[in-house]
Amino acid sequence: MLELPETLRVELKDPLGEIYTDPDALLAAVDEHAETTATADASPPPRLLTVGDVVTATLADAGRQPDIAVIDGRTEREPVDPAVEATLADLAGRRLLVTNPPATISESLLTTLREAAIGTEYPVTISVDGEEDLAALPAILALPDGASVVYGQPGEGMVHVPVRPAVRTTARELLADFDGDTDAAISLFD
């Protein structure tokens, strides 16, 4: 398990991508990024992974269920409102449950993200018993170039992180600064 050190908390408050408030504009950016690396694979890789209940529900309500969603039933440490909960309950696809305590990235979360990202059956919803706030970093490592990670930025909107080598390097560097066996965690995605 990786633990978030106090020294890294401030750095992680900076968004890793552009912030959107309009879901349609965000989804257009996701599609544009995916088109730059599209292949003719019979089963295309996941293109959209969301971290957070409100972000996931917002995009689902806008007509686009994520290929992989990571949710925990909370927003800003409070239970989600009934409308968000109803949207999340209606998500199609497989549901996986992991345990991930606050301010950590558990082995269970890491391996489930990896398996979901290399799988072929989408959509997948990963329900976290605990907290999903840090899942964006390993998600960036798990997904192929051309995919997008979208997470919530409290009080500002939705952050779109187009997965490409430079952002993957940033995610690796941030994870390397966590407490715990960072080499083993990062090697899961090599």
Annotated binding site for GTP: 53-55, 72, 132
Binding-site residue positions: 53-55, 72, 132
CA distance 61 to 171: 29
Neighbours of 47 (CB within 10 A): 22
CA distance 132 to 100: 7
Give me the residues paired with residue 50 across strands: 69, 150
Helices of type H across 17-102: 23-35, 53-61, 82-89
Residue type, 127: S
